[in-house]
Structure 1
Amino acid sequence: MYDMRLDPQGNLLPGKTWDDSPGLPPAEADMLLSMLDVPITIDRCFVEICGDLAAAAMLTELSTLESETGRQHVWLQVASKELERKLALTEAQQRAARRLLRSKGLIAYRRRRTPPLEEWRILWPAVLALLQQKAEERTAHVVWPPVRAVRPDQADHLDHPQQPVEVES
């Protein structure tokens, strides 16, 4: 399987001999391939509203699929095997993340038996409402609209405004 002297059918490649090195040991080759695999991306804002990395990863993946396919606000067909491959989440982790996303009202999910099909839909009004709520919580300490601060050296001028100066003509 990892013998670099052989083609996929097990035949010796042209220019190779059985005396050549077969390549990296399987564990090293596997480690190298795992390091070069596509990274898992998670939108930070989804982590905040989900409170869970697995759920945020699923929401990010669904959002990305919507964008890539141009199918916003419709049911997306995404198999759990596909999510496992892309996000490295087991079935149990996916169920827990799906349960959390549904309990927060962020997604709708349905499973059909024939043909076996899993469908997902992001409920954007709920996502945006939670994002807005979190933004308001983070900025609750900020005075808005801003109030003009009074500098101490100008305080006397506010209490005793200067009289206009008349200019002789």
Structure 2
Amino acid sequence: MASSPPADRLAAPASTEAVLAAYALVGARRATFDTMMWQAPALATAAQAFLLAIALDPDGTRPARAVAALLGAGLAGLCAQLMAKHRWLETSDSRLAERIEQELGLDRRLGIAPHASAVVRLGAGQPWWVRLSSYRLWLLGVLSFGVADLVVAVDAVAGPGLFR
């Protein structure tokens, strides 16, 4: 998991205005990383549909089908890495924002820490499908596309033509 900067970096006292400005900056940057993290699988899914249409085309040549499937597998790997990187950066900024919130005493003022876990903020009675990590589910989905692409590629090159 990502970590926030060492505590000794924040040891020097800063004005409330400076802390609030830093909080706004970190919040905006965190939101940007979060948005980029979800753009990757959305765009990759569209590209996967196109590549799988080529890879599964019964009229396509074996080399064309294999290349399309291998490109899809590579795309799945690239997308997974990009999602993981943006998640790591977003988590790092979330932890920094949480430290700033604690410094400002927001948890005492609001009665709950703004960056508290979902269970703390929403309660433990949420349905199981809400408690699941969307990030982990989407990462699994992206990697599943990669596995499917590899199966289609092997079939296109040396297989019995299962997808024809």
Regarding TM over 0.5, the answer is no
User: Which has the larger helix fraction?
Assistant: 2
Q: Which has the larger radius of gyration?
A: 1
TM-score range, shorter chain: under 0.3
Which structure has greater strand proportion? 1
Q: Which has the higher contact order (CA 8 A, sep 6+)?
A: 2
